[in-house]
């Protein structure tokens, strides 16, 4: 076998071995800007505040109910929450984990940093049909930089949406919340 043929064969073998591995090993990363959309957000109209800026990846959710007694005597009913949505078309590639990175985060003990993966596309219609694949949340306190990874119960392909942000438990009296800059989201295996 000639040298050229050997080289071609070697390259072919390497390509064959490496191609699937590369496809599954290299996560597709998205960063603040166009891929980020403001997802679900809400909370009581009084005593809560939510903001989200897709251009910077920064969001905050704060509850500042200082009056009232637990139960119904003036207590806040709905805690604030705010999320980013990022959609990724994985095609035939099997995705079995999704990661979000943040830097920085300041999250109080009764606030949850949450990451859900939806099987479906919410980029055009936020209410479009989808299935939740799974969710992970981490309770505060969270300070500084880090990442949150959701390992999916089974690998999925097709169009996926990562939904991530903050959710604050409703409480009174209470001052809870957080501010996070989500620097990226990666879909991979």
Partner 1 sequence: MIRWKRSWPDLPEDLPLDVLPASNGEFVPPAPTPEQKAVMELQNEGIEYWRRKFNMSRRDFVRTAAAMAIGFWALETVTVKGARAHNTDTTAASDLEWDDEDFMSDFWLGNKPGEFIFDVQSHHVESDGMWRVTNPGFEAFFAAIWSQAGPLGGRPEVREDGSIRGFGAGEIDPIENLSRFHYMKELFLDSATTMTVLSAVPAAPDITQPLPMDRAVLTAETVNNLAGSPRTVLHAFVMPNRGSAGSTASLLGQEPVFMQREFEIMEQRAAQWKGLIRGWKTYPAWGDIPYASGWFFDDELVGQRFIDHVRDVAVRYGVPPNIATHKGFALPAFDQRAASPRDIGPAASRNPDVNFIVYHSGYDGGGMGAYPGDAHVSSADRSVDSFVKSLRENSWSATSARATVEGFGTVPGVRWANVRNVYAEIGSTWRSNMSAPRNAHLLGKLINHVGPKRIAWGTDSLWFGSPQSEIAALRVTRHEQAPEVWDSYGLPHAIDGDADNPLIDTRDGSNYPDGKPHPERSIRNWIFGRAAAEVYRVDADKHLYDRQHLKTALDTSPTAGVAEIKPDEVQKLRDAYIVNQYTPKEQVPFASNQIIGPRTPRELFKMRSEGPWAP
Residues near 160 by Cβ (< 8 Å), separated by ≥ 6? 87, 88, 89, 90, 95, 98, 117, 118, 119, 120, 133, 187
Nearer to partner 1, 12 or 109 (CB): 109
CA gap 160, 154 in Å, rounded = 13
Nearer to partner 1, 170 or 183 (CB): 170
Nearer to partner 1, 171 or 179 (CB): 171
Residue 102 beta carbon to partner 1: minimum distance, rounded to whole angstroms: 18
Nearer to partner 1, 27 or 120 (CB): 120
CA gap 53, 37 in Å, rounded = 9
Residue 134 beta carbon to partner 1: minimum distance, rounded to whole angstroms: 5
Contact set with partner 1 (CB under 8 A): 39-40, 42-43, 69-73, 75, 77-79, 81, 109-110, 112, 116, 126-127, 131-137, 139, 141, 153, 167-172, 174
Residue 171 beta carbon to partner 1: minimum distance, rounded to whole angstroms: 5
Which two tokens mark 131? Answer: 């299935």
Residue 98 beta carbon to partner 1: minimum distance, rounded to whole angstroms: 14
- Alpha-carbon distance values, 180 to 38, 108, 143, 163, 174 (Å): 14, 11, 9, 14, 20
Which two tokens mark 44? Answer: 């009581």
């Amino acid at each position: 076998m000639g040298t050229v043929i050997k080289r071609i064969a070697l390259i072919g073998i390497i390509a064959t071995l490496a191609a699937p591995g590369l496809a599954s090993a290299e996560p597709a990363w998205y960063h603040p800007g166009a891929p980020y959309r403001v997802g679900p957000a809400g909370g009581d109209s009084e005593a809560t505040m939510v903001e989200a800026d897709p251009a910077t990846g920064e969001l905050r959710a704060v509850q500042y109910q200082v009056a009232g007694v637990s139960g119904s005597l003036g207590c806040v009913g709905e805690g604030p929450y705010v999320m980013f949505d990022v959609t990724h078309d994985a095609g035939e590639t099997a995705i079995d984990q999704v990661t979000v990175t943040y830097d920085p985060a300041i999250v109080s003990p009764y606030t949850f940093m949450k990451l859900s993966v939806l099987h479906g596309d919410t980029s055009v219609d936020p209410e479009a049909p989808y299935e939740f694949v799974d969710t992970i949340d981490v309770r505060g306190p969270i300070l500084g930089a880090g990442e949150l990874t959701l390992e999916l119960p089974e690998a999925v392909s097709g169009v996926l949406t990562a939904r991530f942000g903050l959710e604050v438990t409703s409480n009174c009296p209470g001052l809870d919340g957080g501010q996070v800059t989500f620097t990226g989201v990666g879909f991979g295996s």
